């Protein structure tokens, strides 16, 4: 039996083709203008957001994943980037509410643009994925289990955002490599 690579890649292509990037400029401006960036998400989405935090650090941003033990105090000049397919995962929503209470700006990557967390956000990118709890009519159905399609599409999007930020911030791969951890 051959793995269904092409089916998975086609699902990701469909998601990217139908996702909503209308707030992309504001999304990127928030990243560029922020002093400190903290990324967060739960489960496998959290792993993708951890990868994005690392790339932002390589870009020269003062970036962290929320579960890092050395996350500094955040304020109005900083930024919380949330990944949440449902846009309402309780643990992530609680963090968003705390950020909002302390006036920390939030931007979100989600498959549920009308959910609680995206509504708290200054900008969002809405991925066209159908999730069990997401009635999004333009969302792409998946043969994959649970929220795999969202997580895969999210990873492609944050890596694509990294390429855009590299161009806008005039950072090339060689400079990013200098900032890379040598203890790996």
Domains, the chain, in order of start with CATH, read 17-169 (3.40.50.10490)
pLDDT one-digit tens code per residue, 64-85 = 999 999 999 999 999 999 999 9
Average pLDDT of the chain? 94
Does 110 have pLDDT greater than 90?
yes
Catalytic residue among 11, 14, 23, 151: 151
> What are the DSSP calls for 145-168, one per residue?
STTHHHHHHHHHHHHHHHHHHHHH
pLDDT score of 134: 55
pLDDT one-digit tens code per residue, 30-69 = 999 999 999 999 999 999 999 999 999 999 999 999 999 9
Residue 114 designated active-site: no
Separation CA 184–CA 180 (nearest Å): 9
- Taking the model in full, what pTM does it have? 0.95
3-class secondary-structure state, position 68? coil
């Amino acid at each position: 039996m051959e793995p269904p690579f092409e089916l998975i890649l086609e699902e990701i292509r469909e998601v990217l083709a139908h996702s909503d990037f209308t707030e992309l400029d504001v999304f990127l401006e928030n990243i560029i203008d922020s002093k400190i960036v903290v990324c967060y998400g739960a489960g496998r989405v959290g792993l993708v957001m951890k990868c994005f935090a690392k790339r932002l650090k390589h870009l020269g941003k003062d970036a962290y994943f929320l579960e890092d033990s050395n996350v500094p105090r955040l304020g109005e000049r900083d930024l919380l980037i949330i990944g949440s397919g449902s846009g309402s995962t309780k643990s992530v929503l609680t963090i968003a509410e705390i950020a909002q209470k302390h006036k920390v700006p939030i931007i979100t990557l989600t498959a549920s643009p009308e959910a609680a967390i995206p509504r708290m956000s200054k900008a969002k990118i809405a991925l066209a994925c159908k999730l069990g709890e997401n009635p999004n009519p333009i969302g792409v159905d998946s043969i994959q289990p649970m929220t795999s399609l969202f997580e895969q599409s999210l990873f492609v999007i944050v890596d694509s955002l990294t390429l855009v930020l590299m161009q806008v911030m005039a950072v090339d791969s060689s400079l990013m490599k200098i900032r890379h951890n040598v203890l790996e």
